[in-house]
A = this chain, B = another copy of it.
Amino acid sequence: MIEIIPNLRHDINKPLYIQIYEYFKEEILNRKITAGTRLPSHRKLAEHLQVSRNTIELAYQQLLTEGYAESKPKKGLYAADVSYDVMKRKQESFCITAKQKIPAISYDFSQGHVDASVFPLTIWKRITTDCLYTNEERWFTAEDPQGEPELRSELCQYLYHSRGVVCSPDQIVFGAGTQYLLWLLIQLIGTDDEYAMENPGFHRVRAMLQSSSLSVSYIDLDEQGIHVASLQKTNAKTVYITPSHQFPYGMIMPLARRLELLQWANERNGYIIEDDYDGEFRYVGKPIPALQGLDTNERVIYFGTFSKAFLPSVRMSYMILPPALLKIYKERGTIYKQTVSKLHQLTMYHFMKDGHWHRHLSRIRTLYKKKQKALIAAIERYMGNHTEIIGSQSGLHIVLDVKNGMAEEQLIHTAAQYKVKVYPVSLYYADSSPFLSRILIGFGGLTEQEIEEAILLLNKAWFASEE
């Protein structure tokens, strides 16, 4: 019999059976007990260690289940063969806390930033707390895979009245972001036929299309948006566009081009993915109705998000499926689970139903309009002769063409030296870095005064020699 000297400790908070199990496991791993060696019987070991036979039974069960020991009927337990190379014991790595970088930036023109000051945080917190305390049973019950029904009904009405989108709540599918929903949509449309998208366009969408082993064509823009004649030359059957506010250049697609696109989709038996990511923000006249509302042949999939106009940290987007795709979705049954928190869905429902969403939208529309005006005024005042503003009709960003001979990278670099962060446009091009003297300026996260100060700094950074 093996000489068993496990050092059983009664002074620590670890069950005896685990101490015994761990002892044998280590011995077998270190080949101090070699493969095929018979382990002591329950009775003998229990006596030897002065513990109950039940304790031994538990320890042996664990060894058996994990495979450190093998049982031979009516004979007993034997050490298993675990002598693989891969078993070199791994060094324990310490759990170090991840650190966040803090860049030395005073003014950040990120297009992803929103204005926290006007958000009705108190109301949102109150409704969240209300929902938390009044829907107890719902935290445990099955979700609706498309999103909670009352939220879909409310959204449906909002979209009809404010964006001209015509749908039933049954066509809406919620998801944690545009990327996830786009992935889901590709599952429904399929990967056999080709896809197309605007160039330049959303880089995250491009990454998604590229990574799905799809054949993708990148279609150039003209001043009206995607160039349909170029699209027609491809074999694409599905196209992704941002007609309300092209990303990044900001043009609004006029009706004639919209109709051309719908015509194209009809002839191809294809689909148009309309990403209305910030359709709510337009500063001249009223918002442009969605393309989806013009489509009589069920060829448009409408994408919307609450990340821009609401809270980015809530991560709530949605798409509206035309009947043919909805049918495929429903046939798949429960394959796809809902990815948005139920608490946030219910909170959003009450937020919309009680009119807070509507009030919030008009408030931020006014606010962003003022900021945009301040931005444009500052640019024109300090460097109007040497720059051109692109895409100022709507949205939370503009593109600035800077005529000082610097390329994009240099523009960003010199701005950073003055603690101003501006963003590249080349990122959104499918082709490898075209020469651009343009940068992207988002103004959602800065105050009017900060905008003015930052533009003054940019002028120094870019045109200092001329002063």
Contacts and interface: CB of A to CB of B under 8 A. Distances in A.
Contact of A207 (B65, B254, B335): B335
B80 A255 contact: yes
Interface stretch (A227-235, A258-266, A378-386, A448-456): A258-266
Given A80-B255, A90-B293, A315-B338, A288 B65 contact: yes
Interface in A149-184: 149-150, 152-153, 156-157, 160, 166-170, 176-177, 179-180, 183
B86 A296 contact: yes
Contacts of A374: none
A48 interface: no
Contacts of A89: 296
B65 A203 contact: no
Contact of A100 (B96, B149, B259): B149
Interface stretch (A128-136, A365-373, A396-404, A408-416): A128-136
A84 interface: yes
Contacts of A220: none
Contacts of A312: 140, 142-143
Nearest to A114: B140
Contacts of A110: 142
A264 B390 CA distance: 56
Nearest to A144: B100
Contacts of A332: 207
Nearest to A57: B285
A433 interface: no
Contact of A125 (B133, B260, B341): B133
A352 to B, nearest CB: 13
Given A98-B146, A313-B341, 8 more contacts: A65-B284, A65-B285, A67-B257, A86-B259, A97-B153, A98-B169, A140-B313, A315-B341
A18 interface: yes
A311 interface: yes
A49 interface: no
Contacts of A338: 315
B88 A313 contact: no
A138 interface: yes
Contact of A95 (B125, B136, B157, B445): B157
A172 to B, nearest CB: 9
Given A58-B285, A257-B67, A312-B140, A95 B168 contact: yes
B344 A295 contact: no
Contact of A336 (B179, B253, B297, B314): B179
A464 to B, nearest CB: 30
Contacts of A167: 93
A387 interface: no
A328 to B, nearest CB: 12
Contact of A337 (B114, B125, B204, B340): B204
A234 to B, nearest CB: 20
A432 to B, nearest CB: 16
A74 interface: no
A191 interface: yes
A99 interface: yes
A187 interface: yes
B337 A179 contact: yes
Given A211-B187, A213-B191, A313 B139 contact: yes
A405 B240 CA distance: 53
A88 B263 CA distance: 12
A302 to B, nearest CB: 13
A342 interface: yes
Interface string A292-311: 01111100000000000001
Given A81-B256, A180-B339, A313-B342, A86 B140 contact: no
Contacts of A46: none
A82 interface: yes
A286 interface: yes
